[in-house]
Amino acid sequence: MARSDTGKLLTVCNYDPHTNFWGTYWENVKFKVEKVDVELYRKQILEHTNNFRKNHPQVDPLVLDDAISAFAQEWADTLAKNDKLEHRPKNAQKFGENVFMGSEINECWPTDYWYNEIAEFEWDNMEKESTRHFTQLVWKASKKLGVGVARSEQGNWYVVCNYDPSGNVPGKFGDNVKPDYDLNEYRKKLLTAINALRKEYHAEPIVLDETMNKNAQATAEKYSKGKVEFEPSLQFCTVFYSEGTDCVANPTHLWFVNTQEKALDWKKLEDNKADTFTQAIWQSTKKMGAGIFRKGNNFYTVTCFYPKGNLKGKFADNCKPK
């Protein structure tokens, strides 16, 4: 130890045997295994799991089960001992299972990691392997949850969740993996918003038509695959694409309607590119249908109206200012 001319205190330490040899870190660098309140952590995992399940209509919350948690803890301890992430062998597995490894402990990370697979989930290919953490997390028939957590000597945390009944059952995905929106509620919300707009412009309210709903839904699913084919029965049809769930809470195409409204020249209705707005307030329209389809993190929405609006020469009779 010595002090420099500028007043800095300099310290040199030497070690014997020599350290930091390549390839010897795992044998010589041991992390302090921090303790975690396992019971509290299990409750936190349960809470986060149920928050995600709540996003999916008709899917009930899970409850913690002590016996299943003991089963999960046994495997978490094994993973930490071996410091290797893998599922329990199938011949020893009694429940559905999700596993996670991370260098830090956080009650959000495992569930967030598993649920975020929804961005890659394909509703027309539900059983693919790469999104089975997500599907197990929201599996409708699962009722109980067990949680195990352990840390390896090298500092890696292992989290194991077991589910009963088990999810990811071949042939049962359609019954158990539900979209994170309620299609009927979406249709009602959209109808209410459109009728509120129609009232402002002196048009009578319209109603939902079940046949038009089915056709709109079929078109939304086709559109998600790049096939834009409109049946004559759809009449006037609006199709929109968006990312995220905002279009469910605040339908994207209705937002587009309001944007068109602000730029509309009422003296030149037929020359304006505001056909979505003018259709929404079209006086002689009596009913509508709506569909929405999710592909990954993208939403495709379709709304159709009958009788069709935006007919040349009929704008003055059907579109009234406030």
Q: Summarize pLDDT for 146-168 with one digit per residue, the tens.
A: 999 999 999 999 999 999 999 99
Structure confidence at residue 10 (pLDDT): 66
**Domains of the chain in sequence order:** 38-175 (3.40.33.10), 183-317 (3.40.33.10)
Distance CA 150, CA 154 (A): 12
The answer to whether 318 touches 308, Cβ cutoff 8 Å, is no
The answer to whether 83 touches 262, Cβ cutoff 8 Å, is no
Residue that the structure tokens 């790469």 belong to: 130
Distance CA 210, CA 215 (A): 9
- For strand 63-64 and strand 144-151, is the pairing parallel, antiparallel, or unpaired? parallel
Regions of the chain with pLDDT less than 50: 23, 25-26, 30-33
- Count of helix runs (H) and strand runs (E) in the chain: 12, 10
Please, what sign has the CA dihedral across residues 225, 230, 234, 235?
A: positive
Kindly give the residue spans of alpha helices, DSSP state H, lying in 101-163. 109-115, 132-137
Structure confidence at residue 26 (pLDDT): 43
Structure confidence at residue 230 (pLDDT): 53
Burial 74-93 (b: 16+ CB within 10 A, else e): ebbbbbbeeeeeeebeeeee
The answer to whether 59 touches 178, Cβ cutoff 8 Å, is yes
Distance CA 70, CA 294 (A): 37
Residue 92 is classified by DSSP as G
